[in-house]
Structure 1
């Protein structure tokens, strides 16, 4: 069996490409890996792919059209986005990709609208009984609509990759006219975890792997260790209940606050940057996704290893 995979906004995701290739080989799929990025010549993952393509920014109206053209001309079966800003345009066009023969690994638009808005995420999770940090829009803080207990965490409501985040120690630290919607969130103090989830096409949570974020660089885990904790598993079940239409791979961030206990504060409806650790520990999401798209029996399970340690280091791809 042959399949063609397109990894979008491939950037540095060499580890993800390698996981897909390993999974394909394990189940007898001959996999061609395509990758795209704004500047593929400067993307390590594009360089290790079989072929690479240049595409516009994901907020460009031509992004979806260019992706569809790649899909049609190359017989792509599966499109895997890797960054948050491209989820909404791809989710909105999923039916067009499907008509062209490709499955886009993305949850429906309603799910993406929630997880891409940190205020709505907090509201939806809290309504479902999932513990979250106290969260208010920046405008409410300016209007003194709520009593604020400083310090607080200031972040863009639609941010990702730790962009424009800061600790605000008083109202003097708050911007008067931010360029994008901002929120204030309770400052959580304690160990931080990522919980990775695999939800099958029927909507069943098949796997939840938690890893402690021992060290983080630019919002992505650099050193991590998998840990089994029934509390974190229950949080995954709560997130799945709160987002009943979510499908495929998601991950969310938790801080076990020393005062309030574990709180969910961010959800990514895509492969997380720390996925290679999940894969190494036995959560082979790339295999299970390929099985679903190929129509093969699913081997998804929740029998993964605790204590798996990832220590990332910088490597290089050379050309010329």
Structure 2
């Protein structure tokens, strides 16, 4: 590799995302570019991704008023060209500050504020998608449910309106099972059953949907796919096209989750406007979003497309990073 072709990438709130880090490292190898990998976390000494990166950095929580200025200083001092958020809660802060980063030559891999506002509010997500013809489960607020329990079929699936990482999920079989109150705003949806899928999509910087990669979630642990297999399905691609069209300024890697309920058909219940935890499966199957982002930023010939391998199986396992 040429020594003057370094491309610094920073994974923000990197945590355990070693697989995603390696996707960027492998992208650099394929492009014959030296990708310099930075990772930041609240406690980098306890982050396996920070331990695996070329450089590790401490950062405040994303809801800290100092967060954006701190990340701007990091990007400026290390010449970071691309910052990749990895958790939902930091998307809004980055989307609002994207122009400030662009002014110093740093791209934030984040959709625009309008898309982030939609996906961070699960009730709004359901209403926006339904209006665009995307199949979603019946979705109601706590206020509406308590006013009229018959507004939705029981049992119901409950989740925080702004939650992530499988926090606060619950199933209630009948109205009398509801607690008197919840600690945060909740939404309630028709309980779906059937095979669960994650659909990874890539939207280029011009707003064009380039690829749709569904994988069946064969086994899930802590909200992330542990075993999964890519699966081409025309009906899921059609859903993805409508979903992307409903998001006004979506860019880069997004993923959404659906359940193929035998009674209702496929129903979308979640969108993550970032790299999902199961993205390395799509990358290995040939949908190399990390590489495509680097190509865009370096003005290289773009290789984004829908030529990925069907039937690729991912079996994740625990590994360890040692210090000292």
The question of whether the paired residues in 1 share the 8 Å contact of 2:156 and 2:171 is answered with yes
The question of whether the paired residues in 1 share the 8 Å contact of 2:14 and 2:41 is answered with yes
The question of whether the paired residues in 1 share the 8 Å contact of 2:141 and 2:188 is answered with yes
Q: Aligned equivalents of 2:142 and 2:133: distance in 1?
A: 24
TM-score for both structures, normalised by structure 2: 0.97
Residue 245 of structure 2 is aligned to residue 253 of structure 1: no
Give matches, 1:264-279, under 5 Å. 264-279=268-283
Residue 30 of structure 2 is aligned to residue 2 of structure 1: no
Task: Give the structure 1 partner of residue 64 of structure 2.
Answer: 60
Task: Give the structure 2 partner of residue 103 of structure 1.
Answer: 107
CA drift of 1:31 comes to 1.0
Bigger Cα displacement from structure 2, 21-30 vs 214-223: 21-30
Task: Give the structure 1 partner of residue 196 of structure 2.
Answer: 192
Against the structure 1 CA distance between its residues 148 and 239, is the aligned structure 2 distance closer, same or farther, given a 3 Å change threshold? closer
- Of 225, 232, 238 in structure 1, the residue corresponding to residue 229 of structure 2 is 225
The question of whether the paired residues in 2 share the 8 Å contact of 1:38 and 1:54 is answered with yes
Task: Give the structure 2 partner of residue 150 of structure 1.
Answer: 154
Q: Aligned equivalents of 2:300 and 2:78: distance in 1?
A: 22
The question of whether the paired residues in 1 share the 8 Å contact of 2:217 and 2:227 is answered with yes
Task: Give the structure 2 partner of residue 76 of structure 1.
Answer: 80
Give matches, 1:8-47, under 5 Å. 8-47=12-51
SS of corresponding position for 2:7: strand
Give matches, 1:300-311, under 5 Å. 300-311=304-315
CA drift of 1:145 comes to 6.8
Q: Aligned equivalents of 2:38 and 2:204: distance in 1?
A: 24
Q: Aligned equivalents of 1:30 and 1:4: distance in 2?
A: 8
Residue 293 of structure 2 is aligned to residue 289 of structure 1: yes
CA drift of 1:100 comes to 1.6
Task: Give the structure 2 partner of residue 312 of structure 1.
Answer: 316
What is the root-mean-square deviation of aligned Cα atoms in Å?
1.0
Query: Which runs of no fewer than 5 residues in structure 1 stay unpaired?
Result: none
The question of whether the paired residues in 2 share the 8 Å contact of 1:115 and 1:268 is answered with yes
Q: How many residues align?
A: 320
CA drift of 1:84 comes to 0.4
The question of whether the paired residues in 2 share the 8 Å contact of 1:117 and 1:158 is answered with yes
Task: Give the structure 2 partner of residue 117 of structure 1.
Answer: 121
Runs of 4+ aligned residues of structure 1 deviating over 3 Å after TM superposition are none
Q: Aligned equivalents of 2:115 and 2:176: distance in 1?
A: 35
Q: Aligned equivalents of 2:96 and 2:169: distance in 1?
A: 28
SS of corresponding position for 1:85: helix
CA displacement 1:185-243 (0-9 Å, x = unmatched): 01011100000000001111101100000000111000000000101111110111111
Q: Aligned equivalents of 1:59 and 1:189: distance in 2?
A: 35
- Of 89, 92, 116 in structure 2, the residue corresponding to residue 88 of structure 1 is 92
Against the structure 1 CA distance between its residues 306 and 43, is the aligned structure 2 distance closer, same or farther, given a 3 Å change threshold? same
Query: Which runs of no fewer than 5 residues in structure 2 stay unpaired?
Result: none
